[in-house]
Amino acid sequence: MTTEQVMEVMKEAMLVAFEMAGPLLILSIIVGLIVAVFQAATQIHEQTLTFVPKLIVIAVVLLATGSWMLNTFDGFVQRLFEIMASL
């Protein structure tokens, strides 16, 4: 396997990781900002107030996009096995 092929596989792995983690992280950041604004406005500084909404949003997003994530990861792993079989 050449260096270019290894770099291509690593590039694809990073893109798949960003593609799968992106929606979760973006929505978690948005919920965190909304809760932070609420906490600043009401001066309620409870730790669980930031954790629980993020947990609920992440669970809902995982339920909604879980099959898409699995298909994306499955396609990547199949390509990896095809590359390994051709060596």
**What separation, in Å, do the N-terminal and C-terminal C-alpha atoms of the chain show?**
7
Which pLDDT does position 87 carry in this prediction? 82
Which pLDDT does position 1 carry in this prediction? 77
Which pLDDT does position 24 carry in this prediction? 93
pLDDT higher than 80, residue 76: yes
Global confidence as pTM: 0.78
Q: pLDDT tens across 36-72, in order?
A: 999 889 888 887 888 899 999 999 999 999 999 999 9
Between CA 75 and CA 66 the distance in angstroms is 14
DSSP labels for 40-64?
A: HHHT---HHHHHHHHHHHHHHHHHH
